[in-house]
Amino acid sequence: MKTRYKAIAIGCATEAFFASLFALGGFGPCGPTNPLGFIGMLAHFFPGMFIAAGIEEYFKLSDIGGDILIVLIQAIFWSAISFQFVKRGGRSSTHRT
């Protein structure tokens, strides 16, 4: 499997994990109702919510469209991070002899 496809799969799986934590954790009137919901919410803040909020406002998307946009942006974000780890392949930055 190519490196980019591995990274996309890992990024999407990571986002699915955090999105499920957010959904299963519950959300009350003042925020998450338990620590799992808080972890899921925190994982969505950077950069997903900030970037998606600007795009959602500009294009006047519905709430569901904004939620889908957040998940897509976060999947791209986690894929980019995982690409760096997959590309490196567990090698250290120093050469050992």
Question: Considering the entire predicted model, what is its pTM?
Answer: 0.77
Locus of tokens 């894929």? 79
| Averaged pLDDT, 68-94 | 84
At residue 44, does pLDDT exceed 80? no
CB atoms within 10 A of CB 49: 17
User: Which among 31, 38, 73 is positioned nearest to 52, based on CA atoms?
Assistant: 73
pLDDT digits (tens, 9 = 90+) for 56-79: 889 998 888 888 888 899 999 999
